[in-house]
């Protein structure tokens, strides 16, 4: 039943609607009557009419208090973030946690003091610049009366700078320039020697060659070869190194592989044992050796292995670090050179890098090492039959090792040590530039820095220890001079000294002491020419010539610190840190190794129980391999401090309108900043 309509309410509603329509403005003629414009409300305000309500003093107080609270909260948040950043930076700064930084802390304190001095000098120069004294320097006599106390201080500073500070700085500058030129002449001589070798097509010649099929040849025709693989916690690369050695095309009964494991990680030890057991079951003569006490690092490891009784049955020993992958014909290409050369102690091969294009850091390393192998090693090996052993990818005559005293644990460059001693005993070396052995470059700056520290502190340790032995040796005077002046002093001591002193200390100081002048050709032209010469062996790297020049100067602080620590026997000079490897090539190469090894092992019957246990152990331990950890960059304080020094000096250079010096300081400062913030290469966990 529907409800009856309420006519009284409808009549009232109509009246109210008519009143409201009279109050609204009439619609224009162009707007239809059925439009909904009558629903809009027009609000007008009369400025003469008071709003009625104004904000009270209490409301304003609360509003101000609220805004102050917001400001205080923002300041507190920024302060918390700032201190959090400082704490994070402090955790990531390369602090003296290890022995490697014991001397580094001394150098850092000196650099920090230098930074304070540079900032103070820049403040003085800015005051003088804005007062107009920069273009018309005041004299001491007139400064007090005309310019006041500040002018008097600045005038006295100019007098002290010109008469007492600039002359010794200029003398040091001249000494470094002379050293720079001598080292440049040495580089040019090496390049000319390399060109002569290429032009005349000179290379060592072997008196014999081995047959293509070593398994079917007469085994007595092949000498007994011992192959050593020293390693320490090499979880990422142990498989590829063992596999590459075990598939050598050499009679199995004439080769013994020693896996010399110094690992202190139990899981890594078990993984390597399982890998050795797998190759034992395939018929390879391979042994696993582990030392309980890791004394002498790699030298102690090799010395311990050479003390085994069965070593006397072998004539040669080939050494490969854990990340090296020699080709199957490595022994066939190196052993023949010993035939008929009874005074030959070492055959060294070239390194080839599987990850040279991985990032900018590996590209720059490839430039340096290409010059080292293509030029330095090849020229020295061809003309004087001596060079520093690279510690791996080489074959030694065991008789030569025993005659020169064997492996010694007195330095961290045991390879260079034994090479120098063998050279002093009259043995000769051969370098094979066309025989390459694959290996891996460090991809993080931290790993590269530790490697360079060891490579530059060790030679200075060795120089102190063998200097008297060189003088007393029976080798010719020319060989003594080559060892002392070229091999040690010029290439191991002078190079890091002048590069750090000239470009990181003297150049910034000459900006604040213009009386001591550093010519533009020393800053730009000669380093540019040297960089071009260094990059010639790696022509594909020419686009990276400017980063290479800047990075080499940036690395000078690490090399200088290492040289000082080795020369003066600081604790860091005897520290050995295994270079971090990532095993870039292991996944693909292991498959190839397995395929190549199958034809060699297809006729060998394996005990099933032993094989099953070995594979079961291997599969179990493979699950314990490191998973990808989060990686973060570190902060390197020496590099950051030097970045601020160079950038501060670039500001001073800008004030005096020195073009080439300004650009060099600016770009070099930014390169130090990039390295100090660990923005080059892979980051480490």
Q: Which residue has the higher pLDDT, 68 or 101?
A: 68
CA–CA gap between residue 166 and residue 514 (Å, rounded)? 8
At 115, the pLDDT band (50, 70, 90 cuts) reads: very high
DSSP structure class, residue 543: G
Question: Does residue 684 have a pLDDT over 60?
Answer: no
Asked if 260 and 289 count as a contact pair (C-beta separation under 8 A), the reply is yes
- At 532 the pLDDT is 93
At 656, the pLDDT band (50, 70, 90 cuts) reads: confident
Instruction: Map residue 279 onto helix, strand or coil.
Output: helix
Asked if 636 and 93 count as a contact pair (C-beta separation under 8 A), the reply is yes
Q: Which of 133-137, 295-299, 384-388 has the highest mean pLDDT?
A: 384-388
Instruction: Map residue 225 onto helix, strand or coil.
Output: strand
* Residue 219 backbone dihedrals phi, psi, to 5 degrees: -65, -30
Active site residue 415: yes
Asked if 319 and 545 count as a contact pair (C-beta separation under 8 A), the reply is no
Active site residue 262: yes
Share of the chain above pLDDT 70, in %: 77
Asked if 401 and 314 count as a contact pair (C-beta separation under 8 A), the reply is no
Question: Does residue 617 have a pLDDT over 60?
Answer: no
DSSP structure class, residue 512: H
Partners of 228 in beta bridges: 258, 319
Dump the DSSP string for 326-379: --TTHHHHHGGGGTT-TTEEEEEEEEEETTTTSSHHHHHHHHHHHHIIIIIIHH
CATH 3.90.550.10, the chain: domain bounds:
223-442
Share of the chain above pLDDT 90, in %: 56
- At 131 the pLDDT is 79
Q: What class, spelled out in words, does domain 223-442 have in CATH?
A: alpha beta
For residue 184, with 0-12 CB atoms within 10 Å meaning exposed, 13-18 middle and 19 or more buried, which class applies? Answer: middle
Cβ-based neighbours of 431, under 8 Å, separated by 6 or more: 204, 347, 348, 349, 350, 377, 378, 380, 381, 382, 387
DSSP structure class, residue 30: T
Asked if 561 and 104 count as a contact pair (C-beta separation under 8 A), the reply is yes
Extended strands (E) in 188-342: 225-231, 255-261, 286-290, 316-319
Could you count the other beta carbons within 10 Å of the beta carbon of residue 648?
Answer: 20
Nearest to 500 by CA among 558, 437, 582: 558
Cβ-based neighbours of 533, under 8 Å, separated by 6 or more: 187, 188, 191
DSSP structure class, residue 573: G
- At 632 the pLDDT is 67
Could you count the other beta carbons within 10 Å of the beta carbon of residue 456?
Answer: 25
Q: With left for phi above 0 and alpha for psi between -120 and 50, is residue 139 left, alpha or beta?
A: beta
Question: Does residue 389 have a pLDDT over 70?
Answer: yes
Q: What is the mean pLDDT of residues 289-316?
A: 91
Q: pLDDT tens, 143-160? A: 555 666 777 788 888 889
At 265, the pLDDT band (50, 70, 90 cuts) reads: confident
Q: pLDDT tens, 464-484? A: 999 999 999 999 999 999 999
Q: With left for phi above 0 and alpha for psi between -120 and 50, is residue 233 left, alpha or beta?
A: left
Q: Which two tokens stand for residue 99?
A: 């022995």
Give the DSSP H/E element, type plus range, for residue 385: none
Active-site entry in 321, 415, 589, 678: 415
Q: Which of 81-90, 92-101, 350-359, 663-672 has the lowest mean pLDDT?
A: 92-101
Active-site entry in 262, 417, 589, 678: 262
Q: What is the mean pLDDT of residues 606-617?
A: 42
- At 3 the pLDDT is 55
């Amino acid at each position: 039943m529907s409800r009856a309509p309420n006519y009284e309410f409808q009549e009232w509603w109509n009246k109210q609607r008519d009143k409201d329509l009279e109050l609204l403005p009439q619609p224009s003629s162009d707007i239809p009557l059925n439009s909904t414009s009558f629903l809009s409300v027009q609000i007008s305000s009369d400025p003469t009419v008071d709003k009625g309500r104004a904000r009270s003093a209490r409301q304003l107080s609360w509003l101000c208090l609220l805004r102050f609270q917001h400001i205080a909260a923002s300041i507190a948040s920024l302060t918390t973030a700032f201190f959090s950043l400082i704490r994070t930076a402090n955790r990531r700064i390369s602090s003296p946690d290890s022995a490697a930084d014991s001397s580094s802390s001394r150098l850092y304190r000196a650099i920090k003091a230098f930074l304070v001095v540079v900032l103070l000098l820049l403040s003085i120069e800015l005051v003088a610049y804005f007062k107009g004294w920069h273009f018309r320097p005041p004299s001491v006599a007139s400064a007090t009366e005309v310019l006041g106390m500040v002018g008097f201080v600045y005038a006295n500073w100019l007098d002290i700078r010109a008469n007492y500070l600039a002359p010794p700085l200029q003398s040091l500058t001249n000494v470094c320039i002379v050293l720079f030129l001598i080292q440049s002449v040495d580089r040019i001589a090496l390049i000319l020697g390399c060109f002569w070798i290429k032009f005349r097509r000179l290379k060592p010649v072997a008196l014999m060659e081995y047959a293509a099929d070593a398994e079917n040849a007469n085994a007595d025709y092949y000498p007994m070869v011992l192959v050593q693989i020293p390693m320490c916690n090499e979880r990422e690369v142990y498989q590829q190194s063992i596999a590459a050695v075990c598939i050598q095309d050499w009679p199995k009964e004439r080769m013994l592989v020693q896996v010399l494991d110094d690992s202190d990680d139990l899981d890594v030890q078990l993984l390597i044992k399982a890998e050795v057991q797998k190759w034992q079951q395939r018929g390879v003569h391979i042994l696993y050796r582990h030392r309980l006490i890791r004394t002498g690092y790699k030298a102690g490891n090799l010395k311990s292995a050479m003390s085994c009784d069965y070593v006397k049955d072998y004539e040669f020993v080939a050494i490969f670090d854990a990340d090296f992958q020699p080709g199957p014909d490595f022994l066939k290409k190196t052993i023949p050179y010993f035939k008929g050369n009874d005074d030959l102690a070492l055959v060294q091969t070239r390194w080839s890098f599987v990850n040279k294009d991985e990032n900018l850091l590996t590209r720059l390393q490839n430039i340096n090492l290409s010059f080292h192998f293509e030029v330095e090693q090849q020229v020295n090996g061809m003309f004087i039959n001596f060079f520093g052993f690279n510690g791996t990818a080489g074959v030694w005559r065991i008789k030569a090792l025993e005659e020169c005293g064997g492996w010694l644990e007195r330095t961290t460059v045991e390879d260079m040590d034994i090479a120098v001693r063998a050279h002093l005993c009259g043995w000769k070396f051969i370098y094979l530039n066309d025989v390459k052995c694959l290996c891996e470059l460090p991809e993080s700056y931290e790993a590269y820095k530790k490697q360079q520290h060891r490579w530059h502190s060790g030679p200075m340790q060795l120089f102190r220890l063998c200097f008297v032995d060189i003088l007393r040796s029976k080798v010719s005077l020319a060989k003594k001079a080559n060892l002392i002046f070229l091999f040690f002093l010029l290439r191991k001591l002078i190079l890091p000294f002048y590069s750090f002193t000239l470009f990181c200390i003297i150049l910034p100081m000459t900006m604040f002491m213009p009386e001591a002048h550093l010519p533009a050709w020393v800053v730009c032209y000669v380093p540019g020419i040297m960089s071009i010469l260094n990059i010639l062996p790696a022509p594909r790297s020419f686009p990276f010539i400017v980063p290479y020049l800047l990075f080499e100067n940036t690395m000078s602080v690490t090399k200088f610190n290492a040289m000082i620590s080795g020369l003066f026997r600081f604790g860091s000079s005897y520290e050995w840190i295994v270079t971090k490897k990532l095993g870039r090539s292991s996944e693909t190469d292991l498959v190839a190794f397995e395929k190549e090894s199958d034809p060699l092992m297809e006729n060998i019957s394996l005990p099933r129980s032993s094989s099953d246990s070995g594979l079961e152990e291997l599969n179990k331990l493979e699950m314990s391999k490191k998973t990808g950890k989060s990686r973060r960059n570190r902060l390197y304080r020496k590099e950051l401090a030097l970045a601020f020094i160079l950038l501060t000096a670039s500001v001073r250079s800008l004030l005096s309108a020195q073009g080439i010096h300004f650009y060099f300081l600016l770009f070099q400062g930014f390169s130090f900043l990039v390295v100090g913030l660990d923005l080059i290469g892979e980051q480490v966990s």
